[in-house]
Each structure stands twice: as structure tokens, then as C-alpha cells.
Amino acid sequence: MTTTESSAPPIRWGVLGAGGIAATVGADIAASPGSTLAAVAARDAQRAAAFARLHGVARSYGSYEELVTDPDVDVVYVATTHAQHHEHALLALEAGKPVLVEKAFTLNAREARKVVAVARAHRLFCMEAMWMRFNPLIQEAQRVAASGRIGDVVAVRAELSRRFEYDPNHRLFNLEVGGGALLDLGVYPTTFAWLFLGRPDIVQATGSLAPTGSDATAALQWGYGDGRIAQVLSSAVSGSPFAGLVTGTSGWIQVGRRVHHPTTLTVHTAAGDEVSSVEIAGNGYGPQVAEVERCLRAGETESPLAPLDETVAILEILDEARRQLGVRYPADEA
Ligand SMILES: NC(=O)c1ccc[n+]([C@@H]2O[C@H](COP(=O)([O-])OP(=O)(O)OC[C@H]3O[C@@H](n4cnc5c(N)ncnc54)[C@H](OP(=O)(O)O)[C@@H]3O)[C@@H](O)[C@H]2O)c1
């Protein structure tokens, strides 16, 4: 940390929603010397107070409105379920607060465009909490691919699959809260493929649906006019050890063991394998927290590592895949 950073007052975070990820990311916010957990809000005041006690948060509120109007909150972390992100991000932005919005940023590209437009109109910082983008091995993989060491990138394969016990009310299966493998898990391998290939010309999707109508598995093939391809898999009903592979004309890059927070990176060229690994302290969200701190201190309203136009474009891919799979959210009808 530089002298300027250490002498700057900590960024005061307000956590909107007191569920699972709020606690996990909240711990890494609290652990950052440049940040402090100033406040938390839940729909239920007692739940918020319990969260505050457990995680050492200074203030708790029984409504999200109170959090976003707290003058001593510098940035709001929207940690609710996907279907609520649009409403809650707008609530914070309209109250003049910068936002970090959990993935998936919104349910669909239409909602995302609205949030991005409001953030830009208010000149407020806004970012999807796509923590994968800040992982040092993902960034190294991007540098290696751009350097030409593996030749021209011709294909990407990526997967994030995890078995969840079927429960129609669980957020992975309940359409009312944005259930489905694609938005919860598939957004990571989709982002991974995007980082190396950009916007595809063709998206083809196949998969299976849960009894609720949410996507249980989703297999995407992407095609490009110049012959490049991607295969992007996600499943909420079976696990897989596969993470990410970027294939070039003279080598490949593989990340493991999970695509969204890799701990190993192998670069294979004619010279052999070069293997690197990384251990990130805490729960792995520290680099994302540091990027939010950096942007806020620098007065940047968008992170160059997580451009909002890419967040929208990735949701457009997921919209198209859901259309082909026949997965509709109530918000899609708006
Ligand atoms: N970055 C990651 O590694 C990661 C990991 C897991 C999940 N996530 C993302 O984080 C978000 C939340 O996931 P989670 O695992 O924390 O879920 P969770 O434990 O179910 O918590 C979700 C929270 O959403 C709030 N909420 C507001 N309106 C709601 C509604 N109508 N129905 C249900 N909940 C509502 C609730 O807040 P109150 O406390 O106010 O009731 C609840 O605590 C999702 O978008 C998910 O994709 C990210």
C-alpha cells in the first residue's frame, strides 16, 4: 500500500442483503485495510442486526432504503438474489451511491442496460462483482494469450458445474429469484470465453430443464466468422473438475481447478509446460475489493477490468441461450 492509500480514510461499505455471499464477501471487505463495513440492511431488522453483530458491522437497518440514504456509506454492495439486482442497484444509484452488484448483474440485458444508463447519467461508479476478472492467474492468462506465446487463439472451453440438491424454492431452481445454472454458474465460463474471444457471431444452446422450468444444465457452442469456436458448460445438477482451456495454434493455456477462482495456470508451448499457482488470502475476493477501492479513490466510474458494456454483452449471450433453452423469467415479459 502506498503512503497516499494508507493515509486515505477507509471506503465505507453498505451491504444490501444479509445472505450467504454478503457474509463471505463481507469478510474480505472487513479484512481490507482500505475498507470498512459501515452498515448492513436486510428486509428484517433482526436479521440485519444479527449479521452486524456476527460480522462487526457498525450499523444495521431493517430496510434497504435506510441503507442507501445513510450519508456515511460510500458504496453499496448489492448482495441480493439476481432477480432483485436491477431494483436494488437502481435504488442505490438513485440515492446517489456507487454500487458493486453481485453476479449475475441483472436477469437480462434489458435490465442491465437500464442500470448502466442510470449509473452513467449520475456519473456514479458501477461494476458487476465478477471477481474472476481480478484473479491474478486470469489476468496472467490474458497477458499470455495477448503476447502470442500460444500462437493465435482458436478455441476456448470452459465449465463451471456444481451439484445442488433439487429444491424448487432454492435460488438455483426458483425462477422468481432468477434460478438456473446459466445465470448462477454459466456466467463465469461465459465471461472466461469472452475474455479470450470476444462477442461470438453464433450462439447455439442445448441442455435440460428442472421441474421449475429453470435450466439445470446448459451447453453452449459459440462460432465466429473466422472459424474460432467456444464451448461453455454449466450444470446445477452435476459437478465437474473441468475449468478453462484456451487453445492456440502453437500451444494452450489451462486454468484449474475452478474457472471463477483458479489457483493454477499451465502454459504449454513447444518449450514445455510452465506452471504457476497462487493463493489468495481470505475468501478470494480481496483483489475485487481492492479494485473498487482504487476506482472510487481515483474517481473512475467504471473499472477498465470489468467494463459495463461487456457485462451487458455477456447478458445478451445468456439471453439468447435462455431463449433457445426455453427459460423465461417473469422480468423477461416486462
Ligand atoms: N461471487 C460469488 O462467489 C457468489 C457466490 C454465491 C452467490 N453469489 C451471488 O450472490 C447473490 C446472492 O446469493 P446468496 O448465495 O447470498 O443467496 P442467499 O443466501 O439466498 O441471500 C440472498 C439475499 O437476497 C435477499 N433478498 C432480497 N429480496 C429477496 C427475495 N425476493 N427473495 C429472496 N431473497 C431476497 C435476502 O436478503 P435479506 O437478508 O434482506 O432477507 C437474502 O439474504 C446471487 O446473485 C448469487 O449469484 C455470488
Same domain, 127 and 8: yes
C-beta 35 within 6 A of ligand 1? no
Average pLDDT of the residues in 225-229: 98
Q: Could you give the CA distance from residue 16 to residue 67 in angstroms, rounded to a whole number?
A: 7
Query: Where do the DSSP E strands lie in 98-250?
Result: 99-101, 126-128, 153-161, 202-209, 215-223, 229-235, 244-248
What is the rounded average pLDDT of the residues 266-281? Answer: 96
Q: Does pLDDT of 3 surpass 50?
A: no
C-alpha cell at 289: 475489493
Decide which of 8 and 25 is more confident: 25
Active site residue 103: yes
Same domain, 109 and 140: no
Residue 236 per-residue DSSP state: S
For residue 307, the Cα-to-chain-centroid distance in whole angstroms is 12
Task: Identify the domain boundary among 109, 131, 153.
Answer: 131
Q: Tell me the C-alpha distance between 126 and 89, whole Å.
A: 9
Q: What is the CATH number of the domain that holds 45?
A: 3.40.50.720
Distance in angstroms (rounded) separating the CA atoms of residues 292 and 129: 10
Q: What is the distance between the alpha carbons of residues 230 and 190, in angstroms, rounded to a whole number? A: 9
Tell me, yes or no, whether 320 lies in a domain.
no
Q: d(Cα 131, Cα 284) in Å, to the nearest integer?
A: 8
Domain match, 189 and 249 both = yes
Q: Is the pLDDT of residue 247 over 80?
A: yes
Considering the domain architecture, whether residues 179 and 209 belong to the same structural domain is answered as yes
User: How close is the Cα of 21 to the center of ligand 1, in Å?
Assistant: 7
Beta-carbon contacts of residue 51 (< 8 Å; ≥ 6 apart): 15, 18, 22, 23, 40, 42, 57, 60
CB of 212 within 8 A of CB of 179? yes
Do 61 and 29 share a structural domain? yes
| 290: confidence class by pLDDT, cuts 50, 70, 90 | very high
User: Residue 255 sits in which domain range?
Assistant: 136-279
d(CA 247, CA 13): 40
Q: Is 103 in the pocket of ligand 1 (CB under 6 A)?
A: yes
Pocket test for ligand 1, best of 24, 46, 51, 81 (most atoms within 8 A of CB): 81
Give the type of residue at 134: F
Whole-number Å distance, alpha carbon 283 to ligand 1 midpoint, is 17
pLDDT tens column, 305-325: 999 999 999 999 999 999 999
Q: Is 12 in the pocket of ligand 1 (CB under 6 A)?
A: no
pLDDT in tens, 61-109: 999 999 999 999 999 999 999 999 999 999 999 999 999 999 999 999 9
Mean of per-residue pLDDT scores for the chain: 96
CATH number at residue 146: 3.30.360.10
Cell of 108: 437480462
Same domain? 175 vs 161: yes
